[in-house]
Every structure is written in structure tokens, then in C-alpha cells.
Structure 1
Amino acid sequence: MFHVIVRARKDAKALQYINKRNYGGFLKVSSLGGGRKFNEVEDILEGLKDAPYIPILLFGEKERELARDITAYFFELRKPFYSRILRTKKVRNMRVDELYTHLEEIKARFRLGIEWNGAYKLNPENPLGIEINPDYDIYLAFGDRFGENMREILGIDIGSVSLVLRKLMNQEVYYSGSMKIAEVSKRIGEETEVLWKIPYTEEISLEDIIKANESYIRAFEKASESFLKQFEGYDIIVPWSGGKDSTAALILASKVFRDVTAVYVKMEYEMPQTDEYVEKLAKKLKVNIIESFVKMPVDKYGFPTHNNRWCTRMKVEALYNAIKEFDSPVLVIGDRDGESAKRRLKPPAIERKNEVLGTFLEVMPIKFWSGMMVQLYILMNGFDLHPLYYEGFYRLGCTICPSLADWEITLLKKRGEKNLPPH
């Protein structure tokens, strides 16, 4: 989670309005008490340097000197932060919606910004020049089967590790080192299309990438753990699919809370190897796990479609029924901004109500993380990703999911899967 820091209390008041309106009040907003010189705010900064949330520093044009000194101070701390001078004299002079747009772009920088120095390293200053968009994501393509599938199916050599910028409509740009080497369209409902490619790769070490990003990701882990601690005393439930995002959320929750219950709702047409992965990882994490099986009557309802996701309703109902005996459930879910605009626009915690559970909370501790951050976090903690990620999958679901792209269907066919959506 983020801590937005401004010079004056009136600036903080303007941002607090955005915080409550767009983020449910779950960001932290504070001022430096109105000081105009570094020596006037130094004591306040000393109190902030060990705070868990990630700092975003906003200044007006009239505060350039102060911004320079404070930016230098945070730089010496060697922790993730970002500083920006806005085009208005004071932060509070900017229109609310424009200020909100700045916040969304800055948040995206933390998960998309990259520098290249023999390894990919997260950096909101973004020296590599990755295209920053609040609805984009980045992830790492690695694994022998991933590389093999890219070569055999698309004729693209991505090398040992490739950085992938995932844009709107499943359009992906592949990097090797500092070079863009390919662009691929994986638009749902259309054939996978290689838009362009060049024959270039650099030898890149996944271990070096993990090492280069460890302190950065640990800082985000600390922020997410601090966010989760607000919900101590509740029954902590993690809906767990075996996918990377719910797995990262489960690892986080298991570090914060003594008792965590994972709920694995197994659909009839689950992705291959998910059962084995969930069973193996649950033993390593030593978490309580509830399993629920959902039969999918395709003969009755037909294959799920974008307009009729009857399968999703059944999965959610099974989840709620599995946890209805808990007195005060909080669902820790793995939703992230980079997955879709719909998820980005949700606050980090939402109060929901239904007939089965009554009123309950959904909280999203990795909401501001990228796919790359999630991958590295799981690996840093000594766990493997689901095997399908090493073959070329970006997301997991069911083998008859209407959101499967042609690329994913091709990978499933290559594995010999028979139960696939009409294509």
C-alpha cells in the first residue's frame, strides 16, 4: 500500500478526499506540517523513514527546492519511493480528477518501471522506458517449455528469460535485455498473431533477477502485511485457485495470521496439474485447506460464454457455502490492478453482503503488484509456480473458460487436452 506525502495540511485534505472516494480510505495520506525548508520538516521525515507503506511524494511548482532536498533524503534510504513536482503552484490547486490521474500513473510506475543492468530491476523512474499505463501489466517468461512453445508455435526465440509487457486486448511486447524482440497479439476470439519479431536474445539469469529485486519486493511485502494486520481478529479465508495471484495472497496471509484457511473450489474442468500443485504447496505452507468440488453441467447449460458465465456463479456459491460456518470471515483475494480496468477501479477493501454470509469483507493485499512481482515473490519464498506458467500461460482458469485465448487453447491441445471451448 502507498503513503502519499505532501507539504501542507490543505494539500493533504485534497488528497484525502481522493483517498476516500477512490481507495476506500486505505491509502495513507499525511503532510509535512507546512514546512518550506528541509530543516523544518526533518524531524517529521525521521518519523516516516521506517513506516511500512511505500512513499509517494507530491509537490507544487513553488516547492521545487524542498522537493529536491526531500527526494535526496529518500534516495539515501535505499527503499522504493517516487517523487513528482506537479504543474500547479501547490498540490491543492490541481483539479481533483487530474490529481487522481497522477496517482494512478504513479502507482503503475511502481509495478511497470524497469531498469536494465544485466538483470531486470523494478524502478519507478523507469530507465528502460517501458510504456506506462495503469491498465498494463508485466511478467517474466521463463522455463524450457515456455521457450520451446514460443519457438515451435510462433517462431520466436525469447532466450532464457524474457520481460513481457502485457498491454490492452492481450497484446504483448517481449524484451530480451534492453531490446524489444517481438510483439504478439493474443486477443480473445482471434488467432494468435505475431505482429513483428527480430532474431535477438541475451543470456539472462532468473537468479540474478530475483537477487536484484529482493529488497524492492520485501518492501512491498512489508506494506501489504501492514495493510493485512488491520484485519486481525477475523476469520481469514483465502480463495485459492493455484494461480500465481491467489498463491501470493495465501503466502502473505500465512505470514501475518496464525490461522489461515485456504478454500480450493475445484471445478470439473480444472486446468491440468492444479490438484497436485495445490496439495503439494498446502503441505509446505501448513495452512488449513477446505476443498469443494463443483460439477459443471455443460450438457444442460452449454459451454460458458462471456454473456453467460454460469460457471462463475457456481464457483462463487461453492466458496460461500464452504465458509458459511465461520463467524466473521474476511476474504483475502489476489486481485491486481494490472489484470483489468474493472479490478483497478475497486478499492483495496470492499464490504459485501449476501444471504449465505451476511456482511463480510474482501481485501486485496497485492492489488498494486505486477505479475512479475508476484512471480518473484513466490520464488523468493522457496516455492514453485504452477507448472503451466513455465509453459506459456499468463493466467489460469478452467479448460472450457470463455476467456481462454487462442494461444492458451493451442497450448492445451499440445498437451492432449480434449475438454476445450468451441474454437
Structure 2
Amino acid sequence: MKFRLRLWLIGTFVLLCGSCTKTPDLSGGSSDHENVLEAYVVNQTNLPVHSSTVRLVNNSHWAQLQEDHSSFVDSSYATDKYGTVYLDSTECLKSNFDMDVKGQMANFRCSDIEDFGQVRLERYGVLYGVTLPHQTIAIYGSLIHTQSDDNGTWMLRVPPGVRGLVVYSADHWRAIGSVTVAASDSVEFVIPKNGSRMMIENFEDEENVTLLHFWNGGGNWWTAFDSIGTEAEHIEPDAATSDLMNARVYVDSLDSYVLHVGLYPNDSAQIPKAMLGFNLGQPAATKDTSLIYKDFSAVDSIHLDMSGSGTIYVQLICQAEGQDYRAVFEYPVDLNEKNWTSYSLAVDDFKKLEGSLLDNESSWNDVKTRCKSIAFYAKDSTDLWVDNIELEGIRLRDIE
């Protein structure tokens, strides 16, 4: 069984659909649960090429979103040129929609914090994506927050016929897992708010669910991506996704070494550097430190393709035993714009970043068993495209 895992910045979900022939019921109506969020993305033949229909249900509110982000069925929604929708609801104050150029993607973000752009991930950051076989089924899914306290759970109910489901948890930038659901099955995901692993009800193939953790390190990185993941075409970033500050990581299979990443930084005088990476273990907020750090001893080199301009520092971020500060080993790569080049970076050639260790006498041998992430770092506004990352000597399943 082959799995693909797509990672997005927490707080956004992406639903992918081609020419869907089944049309969902877009009539209004109330829900029997005040925290139910439902969304549909349909690119029908009778709609313009660059538009899709989106239904948002929250306390009986719904809207139809067009390409220009300005046409909504319900005039009670206030919108601006960025497609921001303000909902009259105490459960979900604000949402953010964006569409890609082909009308096949809708992004949704919900927040219970007043300041725009901030997302309270521990309550409303759960997201999911669905890939449809043969582009013949309409998309459907609902997210239910069963309780309002910190012990509540998120439950995702998916009807029969939905395949290739990827579920993301709100806590700690976590991708919960990826499964394939048979056409005749229905599956429920119960996601613990305390963050460990996903529990799968009515689904037997739990051992094949993987975890891969993505984080944004504070820079203004833009995203470029393809909609398939197996080829990872090197396309230009779409302006519609430029403000999301995220990246997409495609995993061909659990036994594969290959990740596909597309990155593009935004020039910002306020943020003079940019960094982006992915965690090898669970995030630092996890109490069990054995889950945070991974043994990188078996990794001899990192193979990857890069394109861009300027100097990029590929970094291995670890932590020495008993130290509170991170240990950074990095390798500088000079890139020529639009010139794709394959690199093989031997781990032994990575140099310790001066001042990154409290104990400056520590070496790679002292920290290689406690590595927690791989990062791409730029000191200036530097374009970076990364593809086909391979960790020589370790499988994705080994860093689960």
C-alpha cells in the first residue's frame, strides 16, 4: 500500500479536486453541534475555469467564494481584497480564504483571537486534505470539537468514497497521519488535544500511519508546489499563497528517502533572515525528550537538489546532553539563480556554528544522537528551491 503525506502550516487546510461530477447540497441549514465546520470545494463544468464553490457552515452561515475573493452569497460577510471573511460567531471570529490559479484549492483558517493573522492553534488549528481518485467524487468532511476545555478532542468524520486522507493536529505543528480509505468504508479520527498520536476508529491499518513534523522558523518563506507530489515539478510560487508563510513537503512512501520541498523567501526589512525546516522527532513541547531527538549516527550524507540565488546554509540542529541551547552544524551552499544543481553534503563536512553551543568544545560526535531538525537558513533575502531531499542511511519510517 502506497501512502503520500502532505504537510501544511497549521491553521490552513487544503482540499484538492479536479472536475468533480457530484455536487453537494449547498442549501443553508443549522447544525446540531455548534462547533461543526464543513467545507466543500467543487470545480464543476458549468462554473468559470478560475472559480470554485466553497461552503462554510458555522452556526448556519455559509458563503460562495469566487476567484476575485469578493463575491459572497451572504452579504452579512465583510470582506476585503485578500478574501478575509469575518464570521458573526463566538466560536470562529475570522476565516481566511485563498484560491490557486486553477481554482482547485481553497484554504481555510479559523481563529478565536481578535487580532487578524493570529491563530489559536490549540483550539481551531486542525486541518485536513483529501485527494480524490479519478476526480469523480465531491469532497466532504466535518471537523467537530467535542469539548471547549483543554481536554477536548477533535473528531474528523469522513463518508464512504474518500481516499488518501491526511489529517493534521492543532498542537505543536504536527501532522497526524495519512491513510487510504476503501470506497465502501467510513473512518473516524479522534485526535487527543494533549498531542501524542492519532487514534483511529474502525480502521485496521494503524501501523502504517506516519508522523513527520514541519515547522516555520520565523522567516517570510513563500511556497511553490505541485498538486501531485510524485514528480515535484519546479513551478513558480503563486501570489495567492504568498502570505501563508508555509511550505509543502511531499513524501512518496514511508519506505522512501525522498522529500519534495519548494521554498521562496519574501524580502522583508523587518525580518532580515529566513529559516525553514522540518523536525526529525516530535516538537520540543513534548515532555518525553526521547521523542524529540533522533539518532543521526547512521546518516552519512544528505542528497538534495537546489536552485536559487545567494548563499544557503543547510543546518542540522541538535542538542548536547545536559545543554539547554541548541547545537547547530551547517554547510554553506552558493546558488546560481534558476540553475538546478544536485548536491551531496557529507555530514562530516558540516561545521559547527560558532556560539551555538554552551560548551564550545562539543563536537558532532557529542550531539549526533540528539538531532531534532533540519533547516534551510538564509541571512539575506535569498531565493531557495529544494527538491528530492534524501537522508543517506535512514528511512522516513526510522524517524517516525
Question: TM-score of the superposition, structure 1-length normalised?
Answer: 0.30
More strand, by proportion: 2
Bigger Rg, which one: 1
Question: TM-score of the superposition, structure 2-length normalised?
Answer: 0.31
